[in-house]
Amino acid sequence: MTDVWNLYIAQDYLTPGARETVDLVRRHVPLDAGARVLEIAPGRGTTALTLADEYGCRVLGVDLHAFVNYAQRAAIKRGLGDRVSFVRGDGGQLPVRDAAFDAAICIGAPSIVGTERCLRAMHRALCPGGAIVVSDWTWTAADPPPEAVPPHVAGPFVTLDAYASAIRAAGFRIAHGEPLPQRVWDDYYAPLRGPIADQRAADPEGPVDPIEAEMRAYDAAGAAWWSYSAFVARKT
Ligand SMILES: C[S@@+](CC[C@H](N)C(=O)[O-])C[C@H]1O[C@@H](n2cnc3c(N)ncnc32)[C@H](O)[C@@H]1O
């Protein structure tokens, strides 16, 4: 791992616009101390801990990777260990009962889990009328030029409209869908630009990790083709 990669994964959020997406939860999903919230792919657990802290709700986070160990320690440290749990599991095959949750969140990760299977898993886990809030990388058109596509990204290049169709097809009614402000990409990369420049200066031919490759594509052409979209929807 390079220093830049380690710096990237140490950030509170690992996706553009995560704070803006959490604001959508605050604005559109009534949560209280009785609410049961599921978070798929919580990463470092920042969203789950923030919501449990603010609303007193219970949150279960399901992430495929060992982030869950870090997140569970963070929950205990903040005195939230009795209400927030993180388990290791696949967001497309949730280890939960049907209709066990009032709300389900997946920030920046449905397409990583597999959009359709992630949405269907959330649908199964929600009670009737339950809400989802999801955000994801979207594209301004489905056929971006090669220079706008980072090496680790294979497509499909899903537009906001196509994403909305996938949400509806999974059995939800969309209450709100918006492209987040384009600056969420700039904000996301900003803390990494200095360290990447330093790393390049120290080792011009050194390995290019995925986050640096992604930023190169963003700077080359991505700003015109990439967007980040967030949706609030209800189980029909
Ligand atoms: C880009 S990060 C987003 C993390 C977090 N939502 C955030 O906003 O900081 C993607 C997350 O998806 C998790 N992940 C990848 N595949 C998964 C799967 N099949 N099921 C559950 N989590 C998965 C990764 O471990 C990682 O925590």
Ligand 1 pocket (Cβ < 6 Å) reads 13-15, 18, 40-43, 62-65, 67, 90-92, 107-109, 112-113
Cα(225) to ligand 1 centroid in Å equals 23
CATH class assigned to 15-182+225-235: alpha beta
**CA–CA dist 212, 27 (Å, integer):** 34
Cβ atoms of 110 and 163 closer than 8 Å:
no
- With left for phi above 0 and alpha for psi between -120 and 50, is residue 171 left, alpha or beta? left
Q: What is the pLDDT of residues 56-92, one digit of tens each?
A: 999 999 999 999 999 999 999 999 999 999 999 999 9
Q: Are 21 and 229 in contact (CB under 8 A)?
A: no
d(CA 189, CA 15): 10
Which residues does the chain have with pLDDT short of 70? 1-2
Residues 6+ apart with CB under 8 A from 5: 209, 210, 211
Ligand 1 centroid to residue 234 C-alpha, Å: 22
Distance of CA 205 from the midpoint of ligand 1 (Å): 30
Q: Which of 50, 63, 116 to mutate to test the pocket of ligand 1 (most atoms within 8 A of CB)?
A: 63
Tokens of 177: 């869908």
Report the chain's mean pLDDT, rounded to a whole number. 96
Angle (CA) 164-34-43 rounded to 5° is 55
At 1 the pLDDT is 58
